[in-house]
Amino acid sequence: MAASVRGINKSLLPAAKTRATIAKRLTGVTGAMTTATIAEMEARYRWFRDLDAEHRSWITLVAQTGIDGFVTWFADPDPAAPTGSDVFGSAPRELARRISLAQTVELVKTTIEVVETQIDEVMPKADRPVLHAAIVQYSREVAFAAAEVYARAAELRGAWDARLEALVVDAVVRGDTDETVLSRASALGWRSPAAIVVVVGRSPEGDGSQTLEAIRHNAAIGRVDMLGSIQGDRMIVILGGDGLHSETSTLGLVGSLASFFGPGPVVVGPVVAHLMEAGGSTREALSGYRAAVAWPEAPRPVSTHDLLPERALAGDGHARRALARELYDPLLAAGGGLLETLISFLDQGSSVEAAARALFVHPNTVRYRLRRIHEVSGYSPTDPRDAYALRLALTLGRLLSKPEPAKAAPRPTPIDARAVV
């Protein structure tokens, strides 16, 4: 069995002395091969023509190093597979950021084709079969080396992006979003959409980074920007897109992503207009996530607005004020006996007839007022879940209402004794 080192089959190469002789003749034409390679690159590829002089010089250096490396490798008595540093180490690291992997493949492919053409044109006929067999082996290893360079660069870039993304999400959670955070988010591909929501749920089991990438992929299909981070046992995802303006569309999108979260509630914060304001959505989403344990039958996902009663009982002052101001105050201002009807309806066990008797009105009047309560508040007293929120809103509205200051009793007018006489 032929000996091989890192993929190099030595049985396909001639003796070392023969290779040294051929390599000496090949050395004299390496400069012409490099010049021909760059000319061919310029003729074939527009992206190469669009490069500035500095980047073109880097590619020229890589091509020249590759050709010289082939000659050195071919002349080596004990050749081994070339490494990425042998071929691409001569160019700065920025080259991997400036040209893509596909463009690097085009560079390698063009260089090999030019070298093969030059071999047929300038080398003796006896040398050509040996050199063609050698260039096939060498080019294969160079292609593997290129893939390794880009894989390592992608891995480093992915690790850096993950750390940067975690910093952005952490700043949003802390409500410390400034221009620096916006710049970092933009570097991650955030396009500053007009509608943004924050989603909180339990961290998934296994590799969380793969889960975040899966969410990012599915969000991209729906043309939605995504930032995410895993913080302990919870996963926070920030979504942004023009299709998130309505609660229905938002819950529909998050519902398609809910399976990526761990078991338990998936809470969706309110929609905000800018990443600068996402701290408010995050605060409500975290509050709802903590309080969701009190409503195990909640849908998945569930909005923070639907969790207002649980959040209020858990001590969220914003939720208490929202219930009082968004439910109690509008009913009080609407008049028409709506507040009195709601109180009586709930006190009478949600019985229309019993409430009508307590109020001394016709049952149809109670039904009309119940419909009006639904129109004014958005909550239906006949729905058990809505009735629960309305009952809590009544209590909080009374507690948070400022009592009118008591009027001082008028002082008695002193009696003039002479007037009595």
Q: What is the model's pTM?
A: 0.62
Does residue 150 form part of some domain? yes
Closest CA to 169 of 121, 231, 241: 231
Does residue 84 form part of some domain? yes
**The CATH number of the domain where 328 resides is what?**
1.10.10.2840
pLDDT in tens, the chain (421 residues): 344 444 445 555 667 777 788 888 888 888 888 888 888 888 988 888 888 888 888 888 888 888 888 888 777 766 665 554 455 555 555 565 677 767 777 877 888 888 888 888 878 888 888 888 888 777 777 777 766 666 666 555 556 677 888 888 998 888 888 888 888 888 888 887 889 999 999 999 887 788 988 998 888 888 899 999 998 899 999 999 888 888 888 999 999 999 999 999 999 999 999 989 999 999 999 999 999 999 999 999 999 999 999 999 999 999 999 999 999 999 999 998 999 999 999 999 999 999 999 999 999 999 999 999 999 999 999 999 999 999 999 999 999 876 555 555 555 555 554 444 4
Domain termination site, one of 313, 330, 361? 313
Number of domains in the chain: 3
Domain termination site, one of 139, 156, 173? 156
pLDDT recorded at residue 222: 83
pLDDT recorded at residue 108: 78
pLDDT recorded at residue 2: 40
pLDDT recorded at residue 56: 83
Contact 115, 135 (CB under 8 A): yes
pLDDT recorded at residue 404: 53
pLDDT recorded at residue 197: 94
The answer on 298 and 364 residing in a single domain is no
The answer on 48 and 24 residing in a single domain is yes
The answer on 85 and 137 residing in a single domain is yes
pLDDT recorded at residue 1: 37
pLDDT recorded at residue 97: 60
The answer on 216 and 241 residing in a single domain is yes
The answer on 96 and 68 residing in a single domain is yes
pLDDT recorded at residue 419: 43
Does residue 181 form part of some domain? no
The answer on 344 and 306 residing in a single domain is no
The answer on 376 and 295 residing in a single domain is no
Range of the domain at 296: 191-313
The answer on 47 and 146 residing in a single domain is yes
pLDDT recorded at residue 240: 92
pLDDT recorded at residue 293: 95
Does residue 379 form part of some domain? yes
Does residue 411 form part of some domain? no
The answer on 64 and 30 residing in a single domain is yes
pLDDT recorded at residue 66: 80
pLDDT digits (tens, 9 = 90+) for 297-309: 999 999 999 999 9
The answer on 127 and 58 residing in a single domain is yes
Does residue 272 form part of some domain? yes
The answer on 272 and 215 residing in a single domain is yes
**The CATH number of the domain where 195 resides is what?**
3.30.70.2730
Does residue 179 form part of some domain? no
